[in-house]
A and B are shown apart, each in its own frame.
Chain A
Amino acid sequence: MKNKNSYAGKFIRVNLTSGKIIIETTPEKLLRQYLGGVGVGARIMWEETDEKTEPLSPQNKLIFLTGPLQGTLFPQSARYEVVSRSPLTGWWAHASAGGFFGPELKFAGYDFVIIEGKSPKPVYLYIDNDIIQLRSAEHLWGKTVPETNLIIEKEVGDKQVKIACIGPAGENLVRYACIMSDYYRAVGRCGLGCVMGYKRLKAVAVRGTKGLSIADKDAFDKLFNDWIKRYTPEGRYWEHVSAMRTYGTFALTDWENAIGRLPTRNHWTGYFENAENTIGMQPLRKKHYKRHKSCFCCGIQCKYVSEIREGKYKGTESEGPEYETVEAFTSNFMSTDTNALIRANYLCNIYGLDTITTGHVISFAVECFENGILTKKDTNGRELRFVDKPENSTKVMETVLQLVEDIVYGKDEFSRLLQLGTKKAAELIGRGAEKYAIHVNGLEASGQDPRPHKSLGLTYAVNVRGADHLTSLSSLDELGYKEELVRRYDKKLVDILADRWDERYKGYLVSEMEEFYALVDSLLLCKYGTMWPPLYYFDDLLKIIPIFTGFEEYSDPQELEKLASRIVDLRRAFNIRLGWTKKNDDLHPRFKEEPIPTGPAKGQVCDLEPMLKEYYEIRKFDWETGLPSEDELNRIGLQDVAKELKKKNKVVKNPKIPKTGRKWTHWSQRIK
């Protein structure tokens, strides 16, 4: 029987220790209260793990989740989410990937898959509609991502099978290994591939041919054209959509450099001279573009394949690179060698490494080396340098590329040290290495800098998974969407909000984004279209959610606000239970104390406190401890969470909430 709404209706629980597989009906209450994706994931992680659950232990769970919009006709609903406790940071972990795997899981009939336990031998999970098997993966162990895909395709005799797997990096427990699906789509951050490797689960392969429904087809018919139009020349942000379609996400490189926000030399500065002509969108497109690609049913279509046409690595070909990878393997080392960039991207893809962390853990080691904290004795003879002159790029990057491979296989003591990530490596090195370990709460800072873009400082500081750019980043100030600011906010505030260097009101803005993306990650839309360009906002969600799910209550902004807050606060509660306090809501000193030395934002630092006060005010956190308010948790429907936290003394009855005196109308009051 087909469901009445766009959920698949069932979920799978696989215990790898015992090999037991259970199929159950997805409880409607769970979906109603948490929607899907990251929301449902947070609820399951809260209920089924506790503060004693170590990231690398059989007790930790790894959950693959879809959402109500996934696999439907909705124009950018290809992403699936994976949640767990991170072996890299020790905190909450969520990461997502586009492609075709997520929708296929729903077509097979499942909303999510919970993986628990630890298999005695390498296995892979095969799902073909109603047939679910754990199959031996001993012959796959040690294989790269493309090899694994090819063997499984052959084994199941179906090239249409969609595969999410790990490469050797995950098997070797590199803490920032990622899960790779559809060959080259990465569930990138927080080291979820490492959890999979620990559990000895090499891959999840899915084939599904079932159907989905939509709760309100008439309303869908009426609005569908309006959504589709946003991806055509008639759309408000056609210029941006078309730039993404032509160049992919690296269209950002030029813009970020123009505002002095392109991380350069391990986040030393935000400006890379001549980037437009060396690593910018035009040279990259001209030198490396091979073919167009896309995720499932996408209106934007920002994917493409790049190739190397000259030199030592001629013939190397891989999907991407995305903007984050461009930054991590060019300006991050002051390199202009785009061949080395494509090669690094390829290596990370086939071994299954997070390109952001990989680039930044190496640049951290380089800065330590340049400052004498590491010597050739520590690095096993490696000479680690930033590029001093552009013509030396290839030589310097050769060392970096070799180090990437050494990290994957833990060739020597030094590469095994770097397997642990920046934070842990800095602790083990000591001697003041923390100064160059540019991470927040254990996650390496991504291709952004809070000094030229102040609101990002708060984003990094309060994010549940550390310094990432996908949990609460505001693109409205970053990319100058003034028209959108006018459309959304009080006209008097528009100039302040649009000013990247002005910290005022940014706490509210970031908090709003966090709520918005919590819903986006639960419906499972892509951040492109919701963040950049801002094609959708809460007013759209109020229509979209009831149309697909039939949950009529979410056409009311007050109810939608509670839902968003429930997801945001539950993820935070997960961290609070693990020991997160106000001290964690902080930034690396480089962003707060070292004025940016060059470029358009020269002299800027990020003043976190005023933004943090606004954020605490709106989230009703206690200013002294960072703990949540009991009343607030009760208000948003997290009574049981409040109760458990109360037992552990981690909730405050009368929190000291900062009073900023600023006037801000919450989105749920603004939108009709």
Chain B
Amino acid sequence: MKKITIDAKKCSGCRYCELACVFNKEKTIQPSLARVTVFYNWDEGISVPVMCYHCEDAPCIKSCPTEALHRDENDAVIVDYEKCIGCRLCTISCPFGAVTYSVEKSKIIKCDLCSGDPICVKFCPTGALKYEEPEKISIEKKRIVSENILISVLAETLHQE
């Protein structure tokens, strides 16, 4: 099953994910309604997108009294607006603040993985956001680390010998 993975090292902080998300979902340009938000530490010059991680043991699903929150075939936690009564319990139970309530729209706002084709990933210019099998990503990370080990550590030791 594919998941969105985040490589904060690659994030340039451009916020394309935010705008693509909100325009796709709400047909408006208002980053505060996006399902993803980029946070910065300006001083350190680093940034990272924060969004719904579609937890395995999702507190939002557990806290929903009407079973409006449920999983779809992509393993995404989504809202059934027919069932949602707007009690906002999910915004309290979510440990990441990934579920928000828009007063303007009078509804819960949360990531639904765009039915298995997340637009934020498509628009990420640096590849910080990916939608892949998690195993693939960790293999890729291991490969990069191994290159560093091979170059800096092993090469040195081998030369010494």
Contacts of B101 in A (CB 8 A): none
Contact yes or no, A303 B12, CB < 8 A: yes
The segment from B33-41, B110-118, B140-148 found at the interface with A is B33-41
Contacts of B28 in A (CB 8 A): 2, 211-213
| A297 to B14 CA separation, bound complex (whole angstroms) | 5
Contact yes or no, B29 A296, CB < 8 A: no
* Residue B66, interface by CB 8 Å: no
Interface of A: prevailing SS: loop
Closest chain-A Cβ to B40's Cβ sits at a distance in Å of: 7
The answer, among B31, B39, B45, B125, for a CB contact under 8 Å with A301, is B125
| A671 to B42 CA separation, bound complex (whole angstroms) | 44
Contacts of A212 in B (CB 8 A): 28-30
* Residue B159, interface by CB 8 Å: no
Interface string of A203-223 (1 = CB under 8 A from B): 000000111111001000000
* Residue B23, interface by CB 8 Å: yes
Contact yes or no, B39 A160, CB < 8 A: yes
Closest chain-A Cβ to B45's Cβ sits at a distance in Å of: 5
Which residue of chain B has the shortest Cβ distance to A212 in the bound complex? B29
Q: Kindly identify, within residues 97 to 129 of chain B, every residue whose CB is under 8 Å from any CB belonging to chain A.
A: 123, 125-126
Q: Kindly identify, within residues 237 to 288 of chain A, every residue whose CB is under 8 Å from any CB belonging to chain B.
A: 245
Given contact pairs A107-B32, A297-B14, A301-B12, A291 touches B45 in the complex (Cβ within 8 A): yes
| A295 to B40 CA separation, bound complex (whole angstroms) | 13
Contact yes or no, B42 A294, CB < 8 A: no
Between B13, B28, B29, B123, the greatest number of chain A beta carbons within 10 A of the residue's beta carbon is seen for: B29
Number of cross-chain contacts by CB at 8 Å: 81
Contact yes or no, A298 B14, CB < 8 A: yes
Contacts of A291 in B (CB 8 A): 9, 45-46
Contact yes or no, A72 B12, CB < 8 A: no
Number of interface residues of A (CB under 8 A): 39
Which residue of chain A has the shortest Cβ distance to B12 in the bound complex? A294
Contacts of B27 in A (CB 8 A): 217
| A72 to B126 CA separation, bound complex (whole angstroms) | 20
Given contact pairs A149-B43, A301-B12, A292 touches B29 in the complex (Cβ within 8 A): no
Contact yes or no, B10 A292, CB < 8 A: yes
| A153 to B42 CA separation, bound complex (whole angstroms) | 10
| A160 to B9 CA separation, bound complex (whole angstroms) | 19
* Residue B16, interface by CB 8 Å: yes
* Residue B76, interface by CB 8 Å: no
Contacts of B130 in A (CB 8 A): none
Contact yes or no, B39 A292, CB < 8 A: no
Contact yes or no, A301 B126, CB < 8 A: yes
Given contact pairs A211-B29, A211-B30, A301-B12, A292 touches B46 in the complex (Cβ within 8 A): no
* Residue A182, interface by CB 8 Å: yes
* Residue A73, interface by CB 8 Å: yes
Pairs A-B, 9 closest by C-beta atoms:
A211-B30, A294-B12, A294-B14, A209-B32, A212-B29, A292-B12, A211-B28, A73-B19, A305-B45
Knowing that A294-B126, A297-B15, A298-B16 touch, tell me 16 more A-B residue pairs with CB under 8 angstroms.
A2-B28, A6-B29, A73-B20, A149-B43, A159-B40, A183-B45, A210-B30, A211-B29, A211-B30, A212-B30, A213-B29, A293-B45, A294-B14, A294-B125, A295-B14, A299-B125
Residue ranges of B at the interface with A (Cβ–Cβ < 8 Å):
9-10, 12-16, 19-20, 23, 27-33, 39-43, 45-46, 123, 125-126
Residue ranges of A at the interface with B (Cβ–Cβ < 8 Å):
2, 6, 71-73, 100, 107, 146, 149-150, 153, 159-160, 182-183, 209-214, 217, 228, 231, 245, 291-299, 301, 303, 305, 317, 319
